[in-house]
């Protein structure tokens, strides 16, 4: 881990790319190739044996993808990064790498539905167990540690409840027990939070979200604090499971990421305006936003996040029917999963992103039937408020009947 020499706004545009090696092209070229030819058989042999640098085959590495990996390493303050074909490919790669049959994974009280599904599958097939616990204090975390625990896997903020995990406490306990810490940093992006700098071992991202920002890529990234360990994952799990990112998706990401800081500033300022508006609505019974003073972990969020992000979850009076009626009343705001796009998106976690989680586990995570998750986009805030306002007007009679 090292401190970056320039600010993220600069490194996210320049890091990892030297135009003099690419015919002076200002934009990183797209190496849309599956394989690379060798000048002779010996060069091929040496590259396979690891005795010579150079490209072999795009599953083992591609120059466009490598630029993205170097850039991600820098902006997450890590020592190495690997790009994957989806966020879940990155999550599964790190969990496969860290665990053996019989191990135990300690998780934050909520995790994304497909991560939950993956852990359930690992339990069923390999006896790798997991447990979801609140992680606000060291005591809570320490109590849940078992002799077979090997890693702590957390989201913070948690999707979609916005609960905050105390990273300082997680890292302290992990150090005491010799555990690896993995943080899903998708909700914040590297612009708002850098878990590796505070001692986490790995960060995973769904690059589909804020990193790309334009809703046209599915991708994932894993960043590690220890470069040797990242190399080991590249040569084993990434190569042999093979969930790599395509060069074109890496190219789109490099293009989209250049504006991450500018976009995040706007997501945050729009989200704050939407938050204020939602709090004034009689039909809204609860709001969840990390840097809202009413948030139960407000102080922890303030310590570890630069800003509160662009996601807001809220509960609407009634249940699933009222939540769905509200969604159906929106017009500018799109009903869709995913997040971090220019377009404002709304989804119903209980029936969408977290539908695979059994209802009792969902309840334990704090996901009710009336919870909605809003990914505040980059539109003019007045237009967003107008759309929300007309939707509240439309559902008012239904809610008043309750």
Residue 82 in the binding site for ligand MET (CB under 6 A): no
CB of 168 to ligand MET, least distance (A): 26
Shortest Cβ distance from residue 221 to ligand MET (Å)?
14
Segment near ligand MET (CB under 6 A); pick from 62-70, 125-133, 331-339, 361-369: 331-339
Size, binding site for ligand MET by CB under 6 A? 7
Tell the burial category of 7 from Cβ atoms under 10 Å away from its Cβ (0-12, 13-18, 19+).
Answer: exposed
Does 159 help bind ligand MET (rule: CB under 6 A)?
A: yes
Residue 178: other Cβ atoms inside 10 A: 8
Read off φ and ψ for residue 276, nearest 5 degrees.
-55, -45
- The catalytic position among 15, 209, 263, 362 is 209
Q: Is 337 near ligand MET (CB under 6 A)?
A: yes
CA gap 223, 202 in Å, rounded: 6
Inter-CA distances, 82 with 39, 94, 151, 230, Å: 27, 10, 20, 7
Whole-angstrom Cα distance, residue 94 to residue 259?
28
Which listed range, 32-40, 50-58, 261-269, 337-345, lies at the site for ligand MET (CB under 6 A)?
337-345
- Strand partners for 129: 104
Q: How far is the CB of 104 from ligand MET (least distance, A)?
A: 25
> 63 or 340, CB closer to ligand MET?
340
> Using the rule CB under 6 A, is 356 a contact of ligand MET?
no
- From the list 312, 304, 352, the residue with the least C-alpha distance to 135 is 304
Q: Applying CB under 6 A, does 353 fall inside the site for ligand MET?
A: yes
Taking a C-beta distance cutoff of 8 angstroms, is the pair 155, 185 a contact?
A: no
User: Is the CB of 269 or the CB of 338 nearer to ligand MET?
Assistant: 338
Which is it for strands 80-84 and 220-224: parallel, antiparallel or unpaired?
Answer: antiparallel
59 catalytic per annotation: yes
Q: Is 209 a catalytic residue?
A: yes
By beta-carbon distance, which residue lies closest to ligand MET?
Answer: 337
**Burial of residue 180 (number of CB atoms within 10 Å: 0-12, 13-18, 19+):** buried
As a whole number of angstroms, the distance between CA 142 and CA 401 comes to 47
CB of 91 to ligand MET, least distance (A): 10
| Cβ(178)–Cβ(61) below 8 Å | no
Q: Which one is catalytic: 17, 31, 97, 112?
A: 112
Query: Cis link prior to 154 (omega < 30° from 0)?
Result: no
Q: Choose between 107 and 141: whose C-beta lies nearer to ligand MET.
A: 107
Nearest to residue 68, comparing CAs of 268, 223, 287?
223
115 touching ligand MET, by CB under 6 A: no
The binder of ligand MET chosen from 17, 84, 97, 112 (CB under 6 A): 112
The residue range among 37-45, 138-146, 274-282, 335-343 that interacts with ligand MET, by the rule CB under 6 A, is 335-343
Q: What are phi and psi of 35, to 5 degrees?
A: -135, 170
Residue among 173 and 333 whose Cβ is closer to ligand MET: 333
Residue with Cβ nearer ligand MET (70 or 120): 120
> What is the rounded distance in angstroms from the CA atom of residue 337 to the CA atom of residue 367?
15
Q: Single out the segment in contact with ligand MET by CB under 6 A; choices: 147-155, 285-293, 334-342, 387-395.
A: 334-342
From 129-137, 244-252, 332-340, 380-388, give the range in contact with ligand MET by CB under 6 A. 332-340
CB of 337 to ligand MET, least distance (A): 4
Does 184 qualify as catalytic in the annotation?
A: yes
Q: Is 226 exposed, middle or buried (0-12, 13-18, 19+ CB in 10 A)?
A: middle
Tokens of 387: 């759309």
Based on the shown chain and the rule CB under 6 A, indicate whether residue 185 belongs to the binding site for ligand MET. Answer: no
Q: State which of residues 339, 367, 391, 395 lies at the interface with ligand MET (CB under 6 A).
A: 339
What is the contact surface with ligand MET in residues (CB under 6 A)? 112, 159, 206, 337-339, 353
Q: List residues with catalytic annotation.
A: 59, 112, 184, 209
């Amino acid at each position: 881990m090292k401190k970056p020499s320039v600010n993220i706004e600069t490194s996210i545009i320049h890091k990892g790319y030297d135009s003099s090696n690419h015919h002076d092209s200002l934009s990183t070229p797209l190496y849309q190739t599956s394989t690379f030819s060798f000048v002779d058989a010996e060069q091929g042999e040496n590259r396979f044996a690891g005795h010579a640098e150079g490209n072999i085959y795009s599953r083992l590495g591609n120059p466009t993808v490598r630029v993205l990996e170097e850039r991600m390493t820098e902006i997450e303050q890590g020592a190495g990064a690997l790009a994957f074909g989806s966020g879940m490919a990155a999550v599964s790669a790190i969990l496969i790498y860290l665990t053996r049959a019989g191990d135990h994974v300690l998780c934050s009280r909520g995790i994304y539905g497909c991560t939950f599904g993956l852990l359930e599958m690992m339990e069923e097939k390999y006896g790798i167990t997991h447990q979801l616990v609140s992680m606000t204090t060291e005591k809570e975390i320490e109590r849940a540690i078992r002799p077979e625990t090997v890693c702590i896997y957390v989201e913070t903020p948690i999707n979609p409840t916005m609960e905050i995990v105390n990273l300082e406490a997680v890292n302290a306990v992990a150090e005491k027990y010799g555990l690896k810490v993995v943080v899903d940093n998708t909700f914040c992006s590297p612009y708002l939070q850098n878990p590796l700098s505070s001692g986490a071992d790995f960060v995973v991202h769904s690059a589909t979200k804020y990193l790309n920002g334009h809703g046209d890529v599915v991708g994932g990234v894993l960043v590690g604090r220890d470069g040797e360990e990242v190399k080991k994952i590249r040569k084993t799990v990434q190569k042999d499971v093979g969930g790599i990112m395509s060069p074109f998706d890496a190219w789109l990401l490099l293009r989209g990421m250049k504006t991450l800081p500018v976009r995040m500033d706007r997501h945050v300022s729009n989200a704050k305006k939407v938050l204020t508006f939602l709090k004034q609505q009689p039909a809204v019974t609860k709001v969840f936003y990390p840097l809202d003073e009413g948030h139960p972990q407000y102080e922890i969020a303030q310590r570890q996040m630069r800003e509160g992000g662009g996601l807001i979850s809220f509960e609407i009076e009634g249940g699933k029917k009222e939540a769905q009626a509200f969604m159906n009343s929106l017009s500018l705001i799109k009903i869709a999963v995913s997040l971090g796009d220019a377009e404002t998106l709304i989804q119903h976690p209980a029936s969408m992103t977290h539908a695979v989680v059994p209802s009792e586990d969902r309840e334990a995570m704090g996901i009710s039937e009336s919870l909605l998750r809003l990914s505040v986009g980059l539109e003019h805030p007045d237009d967003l408020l107008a759309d929300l306002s007309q939707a509240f007007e439309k559902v008012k009679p239904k809610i008043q009947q309750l």
